[in-house]
Structure 1
Amino acid sequence: MDEKTDLLICLGAATAANCIPCFDYYFKKASAAGIPAEEVRKAVELACKIKTGSGLVMKNGIRDITGQEWEYEQSGDGKTDYPCCKK
């Protein structure tokens, strides 16, 4: 695997894992390798989509176990370009 792909995967994984120190580390490496900010943003966006899907699976699993329907509020103020954080 080439370095660019490796770093973009690491950035996505750090995003999905909610690990700011990991993201910071790999973002610095990606910047030094000349990876454009737009490509980093796309990796983050994809990770956010995956996180949203896994969150829905958890909510559905909890609903099935408890037999309860709950309203879930989304965190953040919705002022973002990332689909994972929009209201």
Structure 2
Amino acid sequence: MAKTQLNVRVDENTARAARERALERGMSVNRYIEELVRQDTGEAGHTFVEAAADFMKQYESVFAEEFGTAREGRVEPAGEGRDEGRH
């Protein structure tokens, strides 16, 4: 993605806090600010949800085997809808 320069003026306390937080996280102030904006706009949350959905799709058969059977696009908890325990 192409980068655009953005100049921002903040008070010294805010600048110091940004530098300290970025250093604590092992990243540049630029990257720290980028991540804050992404979080504020929901991009990070959206990315997490997409990754979680991909994970669930990838391992759907494993979850179905462990927790029950897949029926009509959903996983049914083990034991539900079965005649387990009946003789």
Which is richer in strand? 2
Task: State the TM-score, normalized to the length of structure 2.
Answer: 0.34
Which is richer in helix? 1
* Greater RCO (CA < 8 Å, at least 6 residues apart): 1
Task: State the TM-score, normalized to the length of structure 1.
Answer: 0.34
